[in-house]
């Protein structure tokens, strides 16, 4: 235990700091060996390599590549319809995101942690 004095305005307050719990057992840290960590640094090649590590993702990635190729070859930009373009691109990546999570248990389990889920959304995007 440590003791310090803290000043708030003109009041002097004594603060006791406890470095461990007074009662109970130490917190248990559960570590599952079957989990992965989703990369946090975005790089399109590294992201694609990460997704290709899992055989369960092959079909979803192939479908994504075909959809993107079709979009690039057939899309015509019309001024004033930017919203439609954004919606179409979002639809493409959300479909891929959902398909991968449905088929890949390891990624689905990793995405139960909010920060990992956020990284995975960015990765697919």
**How do the domains of the chain map onto residue ranges?**
39-125
Q: How far apart are CA 37 and CA 67, in angstroms?
A: 28
- Reported as a single tens digit per residue, the pLDDT across 87-120 is 888 999 899 999 999 999 999 998 888 888 898 9
The pTM assigned to this predicted structure is 0.65
Cα separation, 75 vs 85, in Å, equals: 9
What per-residue confidence (pLDDT) applies to 103?
Answer: 94
22-35: per-residue pLDDT in tens? 666 655 655 555 56
In this prediction, residue 55 carries a pLDDT of: 93
Q: What would the pLDDT profile of 37-51 be if each residue is shown by its tens digit?
A: 888 888 888 888 999
Name residue, tokens 């995101």: 97
């Amino acid at each position: 235990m440590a003791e310090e004095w803290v000043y708030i305005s003109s009041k002097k307050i004594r603060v006791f700091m406890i470095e461990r719990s007074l009662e109970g057992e130490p917190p248990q840290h559960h570590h599952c060996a079957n989990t992965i960590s989703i990369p946090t640094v975005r790089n399109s090649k590294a992201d694609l390599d990460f997704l290709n590590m899992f055989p369960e993702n092959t079909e979803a990635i192939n479908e994504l590549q075909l959809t993107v190729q079709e979009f690039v070859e057939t899309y015509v930009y019309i001024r004033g319809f930017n919203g439609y373009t954004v919606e179409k691109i979002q639809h493409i990546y959300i479909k891929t995101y959902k398909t991968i999570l449905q088929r890949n248990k390891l990624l689905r389990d990793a995405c139960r942690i909010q920060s990992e889920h956020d990284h995975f959304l960015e990765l697919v995007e």
